[in-house]
Amino acid sequence: MATPNDVSAQKLIETMADDLAGKMKQPDWSRFVKTGPQASRLPTQKNWYFLKSASVLRRIYVDGPVGIERLRTVYGGLAERGTKPKRFIRAGGKIIRTIIQDLEKQGLVEKAGTKGRAISSKGRKYVDSVCKKALTMPQKPAE
């Protein structure tokens, strides 16, 4: 059985994002928002919402029960502050919260008491099947 530890994160996330694009709907407002205060511009990829959803699902699978605040820290980054030194700032919570709510509607994630969200048995099967699919796919040529 293939797990996320057997597949490169990039390949798994890209494969899962393609699959999630058919199952989830991207919110209308997501075309106009940055991913957090540390970002200087909007995301340039058309499917960035599905890539982020796949990344969040993988992170929940690997890290066990996690909450929104921990995921904000994972996806945060250094912010430009003019002449002052850069400082770490957490990512925005609205996007992560919306993604987790969508994953809960799909049945892939469930609440884990007061510890946040954990992967459900359906979600574990789904991620494992996508890992198996990603392992059998041919390697894309480098651009």
Q: What pLDDT digit, counting tens, does each position of 35-73 carry?
A: 778 787 878 888 899 999 999 999 999 988 999 999 999
pLDDT single digits (tens) 81-98: 899 999 999 998 999 999
Beta bridge partners of 37: none
Q: Is the pLDDT of residue 142 over 70?
A: no
Report strand pairing: 109-111 vs 84-89. unpaired
Q: What is the largest CA-CA distance in the chain?
A: 51
pLDDT (0 to 100) of residue 102: 93
What is the structure's pLDDT at 139? 66
Q: What percent of the chain clears pLDDT 70, i.e. is strictly above it? A: 96
**Per-residue buried b or exposed e for 105-116, using 16+ beta carbons within 10 Å of the residue's own CB:** ebebbeebeeeb
Domain spanning 9-136, CATH class: mainly alpha
First to last CA, the chain: 31
| Residue 77 structure tokens | 């980054």
For the chain, the domains span 9-136
